[in-house]
Amino acid sequence: MRSGLRTRLRSLFRRDRLEWDLDRELAFHVDMLTQQNMRAGMAPGEARRLALRHFGGIASVKEAVRETWLSRTIETFTQDVRYGVRNIRRSRGFAFVVVITMALGIGANTAIFSVVNGVLLRPLPYADPDRLVVLRQHQPAIGNDDMGISARELDDYRAQSNTLDAISEFHEMWFILLGGEEPQRVSTGVVSSNFFNVLGVRPMLGRDFVHGDEQHDAAAVLILSHEYWQRAFHGDATIIGRVFEMNDRPHRVVGVLPPTTPYPSKVDIYMPTSACPFRAAAVDKRGSRMAQAIARMRAGVSLEDVRSDLGAIARRFANADPALYPPAYGFSATATPIADELTRSFSRPLLVLLGTAAFVLLIVCASLANLTLARIVRREGEMTVRAALGASRLRLVRQLATESTMLALAGGVAGLLVAAAGLDTLVTYAARFTPRAADVRIDRTVLLFSLGISAATGLIFGTLPFLVGRLSPRAPRCGRATPASQRLRTALIVAQVAVSFMLLVGAGLTIRTFYKLQQVDPGFRTDHIMTMRIDLNFTKYDDGLYERVPFWQALEQRLRAIPGVIAAGGAGTLPLSERGRFSNFIHVEGHPAPDTARHPRADVRFVSPGYFDALEQPLVEGRVFSATDPRIDDQPLLIVNHTMAQHYWAGQSAIGKRVSGDGGQHWGLIVGVVADTRQQLNEAPRDEVYVSMFERGYLSGNWLVRSNRDDDSMIDEIKAAVQAIDPDQPVDQFRSLADVRRASLAPPRLTATLLGLFAALALVITATGMAGVIAYSVSQRTQEFGIRMALGAGRGTVLAMVLRQGLRFVAIGLGLGTVGALLLTRLMTTLLFGVEPTDIITFFSVALVLVVVAAIACLIPARRAASVDPLVALRVG
């Protein structure tokens, strides 16, 4: 075996020597046979002639030996490439169609695979990411799948777990950083000192947190994220050691992180838990669950072991304190791999896109296979002559495979350009679902994938004639297709129609979803409303009633005083924004206390008196809040939405009714009912309770300013109004409410756009393929059409005959596609709004579009068939 390999390699560099050795060896064998014949009594001439006859043709033996040389393989491949280039140059139209078709199909698949690779396949940039898990406590009986974890609970998990090496906490806060060019509102990750050690991430500059940083009265230190370091400090390496003021304390920068996937969310800076005043106030409160937890499993421990361990600890919690962990709520704890957690909300959309791209590639393969079959029929004479001259079946197939692979690779390279052009859109799409969107790029893995599927596609459609028995050493058939190839081409067209129908239905459902979301009335105005975010410095405004409330009151007055402003108001969260709602248990006076497992909840919204005017949210009954409302601790004033009023007081007034959020210890008095609004366009209004921001002092607020001016023109005046109250108070996140609404529609819009593009691509390829099949069929039946017309058949009859053939393919494909669509569209349920997966309108509309497009595709070859001159057709036949 080694000798054979050595010979193959020698053929690349010592071909002349091998030829000389081959001649000597063959001469030796001939001489040996000649001498053997002479010893048998033959004359020398006769002995040699018989030896040569017995040995066989010297030239054929040499060729057989050369076929085992690597140099011959390369030589043959080079010949195939040169011959393939000549054939491609002679068939430029065919080559152009193949390359463009491949570019579109490969480009779509490469783009989607780049997302799959970056989000699902690429290893996380953490040490041993398979051992990282996220801890989650939940109460399934009341639908609470993530209730957070308190500091006391984390301490107990650390002490009692037998399967976890280390546990770290994380929660996000917004603080004001002073000491730079201007005050900055920064998102801050409050973490345990071992947080980066658990992840296995080391700072790029400076040092990590150490255990001493988390001790009481330790000096406050910060680590900057790489993105914030670049954005705020322009990558200044001297930032290490610089001191800033935050929370009325000096904070020293000790490190800068490398560019890495953030977990669990993207923040600007990190601080140890000891430096967070809110965490310090809640450290001894077991029920104050404000943190998330990440842990590293011990070596050799399985995920099921960890889940069993956490479940046992959670049961001990529940047994020790039934009041804090009500048995009826089903309190438990579990662990989820960090990779699954990072893609939890993206798996379904990504699978839908990946499946769609795969279907497009199937359609591309079917279309190219049809093109190749048609071309091979025209080249059958050439192939038969080559076979008669000694070319083997394998040699002919190899030639075809070489040509098709060359075209496919060219299409693959063009597909990479298509994928690169659409990559930014896909990254934007992925960023709405997962922090791993930054890992999406065209790298070596994506390149190998693209070239791999290009080559595989080329080999498949290039060797298809071999599979249907087109290539064999027989007489030419004058360009006639065999029944096997005709059946295969028909099956391919039917498959293309079926898959195209499925893709079009999926795209139609998402487009209808987007259209219905656009038509949803949110219950308020979005035009000419500017929004912004303000977070107060709690060390400066540490008293809610006497410091924060006056700030908010003064701000509302100053905003209303800006020229052109019609109304201004604030709220804890904005409708249609990315921030989640705050939901709380409620008890309605006059209604029996419900079973704890079915405790009613309502969304609680904190708003200023001007909020409803700013949104033009209609008042249904009673009144809205006023800046002069007295503050009554035991009975705060409340406003409810129409849904809640109908839920509890249908047929009567809700004014004067009372609601409690703490089990009846304190009651709020309802003074007004407002119309329903949608906090998210795809969610129906839920029970809502509005509480005045002026009742209590809230640290954060989103503000809305409705005016008759251009929104952007007011930004400087809004900043001036804020700084007139407090020069150190930052204000940011300026967006129009119309932009907020557009942003909320971005995911369904992008989904509909991507699926629509894929479906349109599939439709074009299918229509082109169908036109080609019908055109080829017409060329094969020219004599038949001539005979029919000579016997009296009209042009309309021939036209209808050809159209009927094409529409028969469509009918069969629609039948198969309908079955497939009914099965596959159920996977899209979570992506739909206001549309059922079996929506009749979508199915019918898509079928109609496909029939019309197919009829148009068949019309051109049908008209050519109808214009056949019977005499010419008979003469050609």
In tens, the pLDDT along 112-162 reads: 889 888 888 888 888 889 999 999 998 888 777 888 898 899 999 999 999
The model's confidence at residue 424, banded by pLDDT at 50, 70 and 90, is confident
Residue 806 confidence (pLDDT) = 76
Residues 559 and 659 in one domain: yes
- The stretch 803-821 carries a mean pLDDT of 85
Q: Let me know if residue 533 belongs to a domain.
A: no
The model's confidence at residue 809, banded by pLDDT at 50, 70 and 90, is confident
Residue 268 confidence (pLDDT) = 94
Residues 324 and 447 in one domain: no
Residue 498 confidence (pLDDT) = 87
Structure tokens, 102: 């491949």
- The stretch 688-692 carries a mean pLDDT of 93
Residue 471 confidence (pLDDT) = 45
Reduce the DSSP state of residue 690 to 3 states and report it: strand
- For 126, other C-beta atoms within 10 Å of its C-beta total 21
Reduce the DSSP state of residue 630 to 3 states and report it: coil
Structure tokens, 702: 């989103």
Q: Let me know if residue 338 belongs to a domain.
A: no
Residues 268 and 200 in one domain: yes
Mean of pLDDT over the chain: 82
Mention every residue, 6+ apart, whose C-beta is less than 8 A from residue 712.
none
- For 270, other C-beta atoms within 10 Å of its C-beta total 20
In Å, what is the CA distance from 379 to each residue of 100, 464, 469, 471, 477? 23, 14, 14, 10, 10
- The stretch 652-679 carries a mean pLDDT of 89
pLDDT digits (tens, 9 = 90+) for 25-35: 666 666 677 77
Residues 488 and 449 in one domain: no
pLDDT digits (tens, 9 = 90+) for 536-556: 887 788 776 678 888 999 999
Size of the chain in residues: 877
Q: Give CA angle at 601 (659, 519), nearest 5°.
A: 110
Residues 687 and 628 in one domain: yes
- The stretch 518-535 carries a mean pLDDT of 90
In Å, what is the CA distance from 489 to each residue of 101, 427, 494, 761? 17, 38, 9, 20
- The stretch 248-272 carries a mean pLDDT of 91
Quote the CA–CA distance of 46 and 48 in Å, as a whole number. 6
Asked if 384 contacts 473 with a C-beta cutoff of 8 angstroms, the reply is yes
pLDDT digits (tens, 9 = 90+) for 843-861: 999 999 888 888 887 777 7
Tell which wins on pLDDT, 132 or 829: 132
Quote the CA–CA distance of 78 and 427 in Å, as a whole number. 41
Quote the CA–CA distance of 108 and 102 in Å, as a whole number. 10
The H or E element containing residue 373 is helix 347-378
The model's confidence at residue 394, banded by pLDDT at 50, 70 and 90, is low
Residue 5 confidence (pLDDT) = 47
Residues 166 and 304 in one domain: yes
Residue 472 confidence (pLDDT) = 46
If DSSP states are collapsed to H, E and C, what string results for 497-566?
A: HHHHHHHHHHHHHHHHHHHHHHHCCCCCCCCCEEEEEEECCCCCCCCHHHHHHHHHHHHHHHHHHCCCEE
pLDDT digits (tens, 9 = 90+) for 284-322: 788 888 889 999 999 989 999 999 999 999 999 999 998
If DSSP states are collapsed to H, E and C, what string results for 727-766?
A: CCCCCEEEEEHHHHHHHHCHHHHHHHHHHHHHHHHHHHHH
Reduce the DSSP state of residue 856 to 3 states and report it: helix
Lowest-confidence region among 257-261, 659-663, 833-837 = 659-663
Tell which wins on pLDDT, 778 or 150: 150
Strand partners, 637: 669
- The stretch 251-261 carries a mean pLDDT of 93
- For 336, other C-beta atoms within 10 Å of its C-beta total 14
The model's confidence at residue 479, banded by pLDDT at 50, 70 and 90, is very low
Residues 758 and 837 in one domain: yes
Structure tokens, 396: 């002919």
What is the residue type of 519? Q
Q: Let me know if residue 421 belongs to a domain.
A: yes
The model's confidence at residue 2, banded by pLDDT at 50, 70 and 90, is very low
Mention every residue, 6+ apart, whose C-beta is less than 8 A from residue 12.
70, 71, 74
Structure tokens, 793: 């058949």
Indicate the residue among 50, 68, 86 that finishes a domain.
68
Residues 550 and 664 in one domain: yes
- Give one DSSP letter per residue of 825-837, joined into a string: GGGGGGG-SS--T
Mention every residue, 6+ apart, whose C-beta is less than 8 A from residue 792.
none
Strand partners, 478: none
Tell which wins on pLDDT, 866 or 116: 116
Q: Let me know if residue 683 belongs to a domain.
A: yes
Tell which wins on pLDDT, 447 or 464: 447
Tell which wins on pLDDT, 853 or 655: 655
The model's confidence at residue 732, banded by pLDDT at 50, 70 and 90, is confident
Q: Is pLDDT above 70 for 179?
A: yes
Residues 663 and 694 in one domain: yes
Residue 181 confidence (pLDDT) = 78
Q: Is pLDDT above 80 for 398?
A: no
The model's confidence at residue 377, banded by pLDDT at 50, 70 and 90, is low
Residue 202 confidence (pLDDT) = 93
> Residue 264: is the preceding peptide bond cis (ω within 30°)?
yes
Q: Let me know if residue 667 belongs to a domain.
A: yes
The model's confidence at residue 441, banded by pLDDT at 50, 70 and 90, is confident
Dihedral sign from CA coordinates of 141, 144, 148, 151? negative
Structure tokens, 45: 């001439």
Q: Give CA angle at 840 (837, 841), nearest 5°.
A: 110
Asked if 145 contacts 291 with a C-beta cutoff of 8 angstroms, the reply is no
The model's confidence at residue 87, banded by pLDDT at 50, 70 and 90, is confident
Share of the chain residues as helix, strand and coil, in percent rounded to the nearest 5? 55, 15, 30
Q: Is pLDDT above 90 for 530?
A: yes
Q: How many domains does the chain have?
A: 5
Q: Let me know if residue 135 belongs to a domain.
A: no
pTM (predicted TM-score): 0.74
Reduce the DSSP state of residue 174 to 3 states and report it: strand
Mark residue 455 as left, alpha or beta (left: phi above 0; alpha: psi -120 to 50; beta: remaining).
Answer: alpha
Q: Let me know if residue 564 belongs to a domain.
A: yes
Q: Is pLDDT above 90 for 209?
A: yes
Residues 41 and 98 in one domain: no
What domain range includes position 382? 77-126+347-480
In Å, what is the CA distance from 361 to each residue of 102, 499, 861? 8, 10, 26
For 848, how many CA atoms within 13 A lie in the half-sphere containing its CB?
A: 7
Q: Let me know if residue 536 belongs to a domain.
A: no
Lowest-confidence region among 332-336, 342-346, 360-364, 372-376 = 372-376
Q: Is pLDDT above 60 for 68?
A: no
Residue 376 confidence (pLDDT) = 67
Quote the CA–CA distance of 644 and 788 in Å, as a whole number. 76
Indicate the residue among 330, 357, 380 that finishes a domain.
330
Structure tokens, 474: 């027989």
Tell which wins on pLDDT, 361 or 3: 361
Q: Which long-range contacts (CB under 8 A, 24 or more apart) does 667-670 make?
A: 667/589, 667/634, 667/635, 668/635, 668/636, 668/637, 668/638, 669/635, 669/636, 669/637, 669/638, 670/622, 670/638, 670/639, 670/640
Mention every residue, 6+ apart, whose C-beta is less than 8 A from residue 262.
225, 435
* Of the ranges 5-9, 347-351, 529-533, the best mean pLDDT one: 529-533
Q: Is pLDDT above 80 for 454?
A: yes
In Å, what is the CA distance from 589 to each residue of 318, 342, 547, 574? 30, 43, 33, 29
Kindly give the interhelix angle for 483-519 and 746-780, rounded to the nearest 10 degrees: 150
Q: Is pLDDT above 50 for 867?
A: yes
Q: Is pLDDT above 60 for 3?
A: no
Asked if 137 contacts 331 with a C-beta cutoff of 8 angstroms, the reply is yes
Structure tokens, 716: 């400087």
* Of the ranges 105-114, 232-241, 599-608, 800-809, the best mean pLDDT one: 232-241
Indicate the residue among 303, 330, 357 that finishes a domain.
330
Residues 101 and 27 in one domain: no
Asked if 639 contacts 690 with a C-beta cutoff of 8 angstroms, the reply is yes
Residues 412 and 493 in one domain: no
